[in-house]
């Protein structure tokens, strides 16, 4: 009797293990199911490279290049802000901060990670956007830069935590050897420790990119809503993620607009698949 | 020689400034939320229905909806996640299948939340309609990687020698897991579960098309009903309803952030308490 | 007389590293067999082959034959095999449970649920390992509160509770004080009439005190095995003599 129950439990455990693979496949299949229907009527190449996203015009145009560029601009801006900042904070926490502050600082950063993105989106609307509007004399502060800044903050906890881990796992004797040769702490940090932690930094960048590209609500709320080809960070843009969120509610199931949004989903899925695989590779490449 | 010392001082000061640049906004955010949101928190706000196109009244249905969604997420993701972690740590051999599963988990963790929303729409909504059921299932799959990872860490923390002792007495693998490994991993698992659920409670994108209702005049009666939810309500109050008082906006946000914050504190407390009482 | 354990041309590998080489020996029923030798001689790997505990290590493989009471250990259900061959580890390893639950763990896993039967088994096992008097009023206390020597005797009791036929000891007294060591050696002598025991030890003098026959392992090979008195007074192999007299170790 006992052996039979145990057998069932162990089978259930095995199935649960496989479940994750099943879910990834399922997600991909369902995205494909709806998304590929678009390419019955649209050309894949003009989808990817078309400069006009006019899904509700007649006839609709489904070029997602402005959306891709929107995501790229916002992501790029966010990484440019977050990576140097993240490295600086990670160094400070790992090597410079007095021990008693270390935990407080780490908790502070973790707290940032706990704030839901819709809340950060709201705060961006009421604080960041007016600030940018004022600073740069813009018609509206809802711009790619606002998105980049907010996303940089959202990505910082991930980036700081990974880089900090990498710094801490640099073997002590590297550091001690450098100091013994007369280098200052700071020289040791940028000459010895950071290079040794470089694969961790790369992994952090990759994971940061993944985090930022996939973000939806905050960008939806603060990057303006202009699905046009962006030329600078100081104008409204539309990302791939925000497009799905903003427009799905308006589509009719089974229309080509509906399929187009799923097709965008496929693109996002593939991008994040690649980025995460790369990040994992960097993390485990020691 | 003096030059390098001075460089160091400048560098370290710069690092401090940058760190404060990051930490200060966090503190300010919480301060602002408290200052502007606390006045809104009244029993009426918490427990009554919204009135006047949500410009007045309370947010009770959103709170209830979030609670149901968290519950549903827990029901679907916890057993599955724990068992998957047990499989990976205690049963699986080092082969291609195990590596594939681990890659799959990494990918599930990285899928953008809006893509989960699309998936939920494509599968669960076509099966169950826009409902708490569809929303919970979507959120559950999204939360799965967090629970699996946290459980694996908790299982790994149990010393290998315990397992060896159990096997040497003639116990089977499941007996060893059930009687020696799991009981000692429970505190770590609980911490991970609480953190995973608190994140799920704050998500908006996965519930946009799978469960969220703009406005429901009554509370959901069954799992097949739509529901309001706090994150979506915040989005709506911020962008879809004109002339909402900032008091209500901040109040709603404070309730959500407060919930998430309290859950995080509970998780940290449990983690610290467990570490103290550990006997090995 | 049929040997209790019959080992024939046993080789144990960790990855491609051979740690036990072509081992052949028999263990007689109710004897205490001592195994001495310097570190990394393969003593522990040999021991853990007997109850198939080394199958827990993914990179371990074996060739050769091991028989318990004439039956190949790979033909015996592994849980029953481990019930019949118990092991006491080098470090006292109480489970994070009460003293009672530690000893009752094995019997519970084998299906005994009756509370009074368990209590009976617990008392009997703790008595046989010479610790009953010290713990009989503290059975519901956590086991980790006991001293090192007491914990180790608890582990012996835990092993006895599943009613094994063979008991393996892997350097059980390393790190214990002389009094605890003596209590454990006394317990081993008491157990002789009902159990076959194999004692791996780094302490040559302990083997001399306790075992009936002694085997000398060196670098994975069995160099010599004979009655303890003979091995220590007139060893046949030069290496044995050099190890015993402390020329190397």
Q: Is A194 helix (H, G, I), strand (E, B) or coil?
A: helix
pLDDT at residue A21 tops 90: yes
Q: Which of A43-57, C21-35, C119-133 has the lowest mean pLDDT?
A: A43-57
Per-residue pLDDT at B273: 85
Selected residue of B20, B96, B118 to mutate for chain A interface (largest A Cβ count, 10 A): B118
State how far the Cα of A204 lies from the Cα of A216, in Å rounded to an integer: 20
Per-residue pLDDT at C2: 81
- In chain B, the domains with their CATH numbers are 56-277 (1.10.3720.10)
In this structure, are strands C71-72 and B56-57 parallel, antiparallel, or unpaired?
Answer: unpaired
B40 burial (CB, 10 Å; 0-12 / 13-18 / 19+) is buried
Residue in B19, B172, B261 closest to A89 by CB: B19
Q: What token pair was written down for C236?
A: 């046949």
Chain C residue set in contact with B, beta carbons under 8 Å: 51, 53, 56, 58, 79-83, 86-87, 89, 91, 93, 95-96, 105-106, 109-110, 142, 144, 158-159, 162
**How many C-beta neighbours within 10 Å does residue B183 have?**
13
Helices A256-283 & B96-110 angle (0-180, nearest 10): 120
Q: In angstroms, what separates the C-alpha of B194 from chain C's closest C-alpha? A: 25
Contact with chain C for residue B95, Cβ under 8 A: no
C210 - beta bridge partners?
A: none
* Region label for C76, one of left (φ > 0), alpha (ψ between -120 and 50) or beta (otherwise): beta
pLDDT at residue C236 tops 80: yes
Residues B113-170: pLDDT tens digits? 999 999 999 999 999 999 999 999 999 999 999 999 999 999 999 999 999 999 999 9
B56 - beta bridge partners?
A: B51
A36 - beta bridge partners?
A: none
Q: How much of chain A exceeds pLDDT 90, in percent?
A: 61
* Residue A201 pLDDT level (bands cut at 50, 70, 90): very high
Question: First and final CA of chain B: distance in angstroms?
Answer: 49
pLDDT at residue A107 tops 90: no
CB A226 within 8 A of CB A253: no
User: Within 13 Å and on the Cβ side, how many CA atoms surround A77?
Assistant: 23
3-state secondary structure string across B207-244 = HHCCCECCCCCCCCCCCCCCECCHHHHHHHHHHCCCCC
Residue in C53, C96, C109 closest to B171 by CB: C109
- CB contact under 8 Å between A31 and B122, yes or no, is yes
pLDDT at residue C248 tops 80: no
CB A35 within 8 A of CB A232: no
State how far the Cα of B185 lies from the Cα of B153, in Å rounded to an integer: 9
C110 burial (CB, 10 Å; 0-12 / 13-18 / 19+) is middle
Chain A residue closest to B2 (CA)?
Answer: A184
Contact with chain B for residue A152, Cβ under 8 A: no
CB B42 within 8 A of CB B209: no
In this structure, are strands C32-36 and C213-218 parallel, antiparallel, or unpaired?
Answer: parallel
Contact with chain C for residue B161, Cβ under 8 A: yes
Average pLDDT of the residues of chain B: 92
Chain B residue closest to C156 (CA)?
Answer: B169
Residue in B110, B204, B249 closest to A275 by CB: B110
Q: Is C129 helix (H, G, I), strand (E, B) or coil?
A: coil
State how far the Cα of B118 lies from the Cα of B206, in Å rounded to an integer: 8
State how far the Cα of B197 lies from the Cα of B81, in Å rounded to an integer: 12
State how far the Cα of B108 lies from the Cα of B126, in Å rounded to an integer: 22
* Residue C1 pLDDT level (bands cut at 50, 70, 90): low
- CB contact under 8 Å between B114 and A112, yes or no, is no
Q: What token pair was written down for C185?
A: 């050696």
Q: What is the pTM of this model?
A: 0.91
* Residue C100 pLDDT level (bands cut at 50, 70, 90): very high
Per CB-CB distance under 8 Å, the chain C contacts of B173 are none
Residue whose tokens read 């998500």: B203
State how far the Cα of C47 lies from the Cα of B120, in Å rounded to an integer: 55
Residues A150-171: pLDDT tens digits? 999 999 999 999 999 999 989 9
B38 - beta bridge partners?
A: none
B240 burial (CB, 10 Å; 0-12 / 13-18 / 19+) is exposed
Backbone phi, psi, residue A227, to 5°: -85, 65
CB B60 within 8 A of CB B49: yes
CB C68 within 8 A of CB C81: yes
Per-residue pLDDT at A249: 87
**B·C CB contacts under 8 A:** 64
- CB contact under 8 Å between A85 and B18, yes or no, is yes
Q: What token pair was written down for A205?
A: 């960048």
Between residues A191 and B163, which one has the greater pLDDT? B163
CB C151 within 8 A of CB C134: no
Q: What token pair was written down for A96?
A: 């410079």
Average pLDDT of the residues of chain A: 91
Per CB-CB distance under 8 Å, the chain C contacts of B91 are none
Sequence-ordered list of residues with C-beta below 8 angstroms from that of A187, at least 6 positions apart, any chain: A178, B4, B8
Range C143-154 average pLDDT: 92
- CB contact under 8 Å between A276 and B202, yes or no, is no
CB C62 within 8 A of CB C10: yes
The C-alpha angle with vertex B264 and arms to B263 and B266, in degrees rounded to 5, equals: 65
State how far the Cα of B277 lies from the Cα of B279, in Å rounded to an integer: 6
Residues A118-154: pLDDT tens digits? 999 999 999 999 999 999 988 888 999 999 999 999 9
Residues of chain B numbered 212-231 and touching chain C (CB < 8 Å): none
CB B54 within 8 A of CB B232: no
Q: Is C23 helix (H, G, I), strand (E, B) or coil?
A: strand
State how far the Cα of A221 lies from the Cα of A242, in Å rounded to an integer: 8
Between residues A3 and C192, which one has the greater pLDDT? C192
Residue in C51, C58, C110 closest to B168 by CB: C51
Q: In angstroms, what separates the C-alpha of C203 from chain B's closest C-alpha? A: 24
State how far the Cα of A158 lies from the Cα of A148, in Å rounded to an integer: 16
- CB contact under 8 Å between C106 and B170, yes or no, is yes
Closest CA to C94 of C53, C134, C142: C142
Q: In angstroms, what separates the C-alpha of B98 from chain C's closest C-alpha? A: 15
- CB contact under 8 Å between A116 and B21, yes or no, is no
CB A116 within 8 A of CB B203: yes
Q: In angstroms, what separates the C-alpha of B89 from chain C's closest C-alpha? A: 13
Dihedral, CA atoms, C65, C81, A11, B85, nearest 10 degrees?
Answer: -90
Residues B215-255: pLDDT tens digits? 888 899 999 999 999 999 999 999 988 888 889 999 999 99
State how far the Cα of C58 lies from the Cα of C214, in Å rounded to an integer: 31
pLDDT at residue C180 tops 60: yes
Read off the DSSP letter of residue C198: E
Contact with chain C for residue B44, Cβ under 8 A: no
Q: In angstroms, what separates the C-alpha of C169 from chain B's closest C-alpha? A: 12
Residue in A21, A111, A121 closest to B26 by CB: A111
Read off the DSSP letter of residue B158: S
Per-residue pLDDT at B57: 84
pLDDT at residue A1 tops 70: no
Q: Of how many residues is chain A composed?
A: 286
- In chain C, the domains with their CATH numbers are 5-93+165-244 (3.40.50.300)
Per CB-CB distance under 8 Å, the chain B contacts of A160 are 22
Per-residue pLDDT at A154: 94
Spatial strand order in the sheet of C71-72: C17-27, C5-14, C60-68, C71-72
Per-residue pLDDT at A286: 53
**A·B CB contacts under 8 A:** 231
Residue whose tokens read 């502070």: A108
pLDDT at residue C213 tops 70: yes
State how far the Cα of A13 lies from the Cα of C97, in Å rounded to an integer: 26
Which helix or strand (DSSP H or E) is residue C94 part of? Answer: none
Per-residue pLDDT at B242: 87
C8 - beta bridge partners?
A: C65
**How many C-beta neighbours within 10 Å does residue C112 have?**
16
Residue in C82, C96, C142 closest to B170 by CB: C82
Q: What token pair was written down for C150?
A: 């007491």
Selected residue of A11, A15, A16, A28 to mutate for chain B interface (largest B Cβ count, 10 A): A16
């Amino acid at each position: 009797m006992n052996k039979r129950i145990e057998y069932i439990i162990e089978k259930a455990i095995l199935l649960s293990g496989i479940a994750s693979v099943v879910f990834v496949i399922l997600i991909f299949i369902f995205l494909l199911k709806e998304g590929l229907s678009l390419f019955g009527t649209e050309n894949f190449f003009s989808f990817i490279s078309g400069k006009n996203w006019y899904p509700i015009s007649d006839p609709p145009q489904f070029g997602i290049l402005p959306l891709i560029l929107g995501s790229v601009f916002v992501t790029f801006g966010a990484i440019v802000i977050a990576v140097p900042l993240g490295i600086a904070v990670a160094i400070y926490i790992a090597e410079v901060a007095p021990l008693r502050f270390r935990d407080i600082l780490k908790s502070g950063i973790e707290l940032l990670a706990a704030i839901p993105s819709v809340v950060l989106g709201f705060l961006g609307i009421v604080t960041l956007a007016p600030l940018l509007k004022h600073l740069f004399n813009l018609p509206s502060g809802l711009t790619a830069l606002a998105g980049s800044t907010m996303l940089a903050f959202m990505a910082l906890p991930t980036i700081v935590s990974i880089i900090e881990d990498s710094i801490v796992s640099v073997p002590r004797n590297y550091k001690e050897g450098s100091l013994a040769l007369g280098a200052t702490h700071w020289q040791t940090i940028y000459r010895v420790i950071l290079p040794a932690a470089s694969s961790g930094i790369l992994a952090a960048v990759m994971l940061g990119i993944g985090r930022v590209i996939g973000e939806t609500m905050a960008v939806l709320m603060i990057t303006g809503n202009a699905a046009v080809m962006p030329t600078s960070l100081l104008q409204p843009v539309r990302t791939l993620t925000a497009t799905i969120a903003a427009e799905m509610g308006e589509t009719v199931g089974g229309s080509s607009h509906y399929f187009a949004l799923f097709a965008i989903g496929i693109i996002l899925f593939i991008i994040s698949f690649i980025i995460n695989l790369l990040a994992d590779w960097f993390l485990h490449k020691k | 020689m003096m030059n390098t010392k001075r460089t160091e001082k400048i560098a370290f000061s710069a690092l401090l400034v940058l760190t404060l640049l990051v930490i200060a906004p966090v503190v300010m955010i919480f301060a602002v939320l408290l200052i502007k949101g606390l006045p809104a928190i009244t029993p009426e706000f918490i427990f009554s229905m919204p009135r006047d196109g949500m410009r007045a009244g309370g947010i009770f249905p959103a709170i209830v909806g979030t609670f149901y969604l968290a519950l549903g997420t827990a029901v679907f993701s916890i057993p599955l996640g724990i068992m998957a972690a047990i499989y990976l740590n205690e049963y699986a051999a080092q082969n291609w299948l195990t590596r594939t599963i681990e890659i799959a988990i990494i990918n599930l963790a990285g899928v953008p939340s809006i893509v989960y929303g699309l998936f939920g729409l494509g599968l669960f909504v076509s099966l169950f309609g826009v409902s708490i059921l569809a929303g919970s299932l979507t959120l559950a799959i999204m939360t799965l990687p967090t629970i699996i990872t946290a459980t694996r860490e908790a299982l790994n923390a149990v010393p290998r020698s315990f397992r060896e002792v159990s096997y040497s007495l003639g116990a089977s693998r499941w007996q060893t897991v059930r009687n020696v490994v799991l009981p000692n991993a429970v505190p770590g698992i609980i911490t991970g579960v609480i953190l995973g659920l608190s994140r799920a409670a704050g998500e908006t994108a996965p519930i946009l098309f799978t469960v969220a209702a703009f406005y429901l005049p009554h509370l959901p009666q069954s799992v097949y009903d739509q529901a309001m939810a706090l994150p979506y309500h915040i989005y709506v109050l911020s962008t879809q309803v004109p002339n909402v008082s900032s008091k209500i906006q901040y109040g709603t946000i404070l309730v959500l952030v407060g919930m998430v914050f309290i859950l995080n504190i509970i998780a940290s407390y449990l983690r610290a308490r467990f570490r103290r009482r550990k006997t090995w | 007389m049929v040997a209790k354990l019959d080992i024939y041309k046993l080789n144990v590998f960790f990855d491609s590293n051979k740690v036990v080489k072509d081992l052949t020996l028999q263990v007689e029923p109710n004897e205490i067999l001592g195994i001495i030798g310097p570190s990394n001689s393969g003593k522990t790997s040999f021991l853990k082959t007997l109850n198939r505990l080394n199958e827990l290590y993914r990179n371990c493989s074996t060739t050769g034959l091991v028989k318990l009471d004439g039956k190949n250990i790979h033909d015996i259900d592994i849980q029953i095999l481990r019930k019949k061959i118990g092991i006491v580890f080098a470090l006292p390893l109480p489970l994070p449970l009460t003293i009672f639950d530690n000893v009752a763990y094995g019997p519970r896993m084998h299906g005994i649920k009756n509370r009074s039967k368990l209590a009976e088994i617990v008392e009997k096992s703790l008595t046989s390992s010479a610790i009953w008097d010290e713990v009989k009023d503290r059975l519901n206390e956590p086991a980790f509160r006991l001293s090192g020597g007491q914990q180790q005797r608890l582990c012996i009791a835990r092993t006895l509770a599943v009613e094994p036929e063979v008991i393996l000891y892997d350097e059980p007294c390393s790190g214990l004080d002389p009094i605890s060591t003596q209590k454990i050696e006394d317990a081993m002598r008491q157990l002789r009439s009902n159990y076959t025991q194999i004692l791996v030890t780094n302490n040559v003098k302990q083997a001399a005190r306790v075992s009936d026959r002694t085997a000398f392992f060196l670098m994975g090979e069995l160099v010599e095995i004979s009655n303890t008195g003979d091995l220590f007074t007139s060893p046949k192999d030069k290496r044995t003599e050099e190890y015993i007299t402390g020329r190397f170790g």
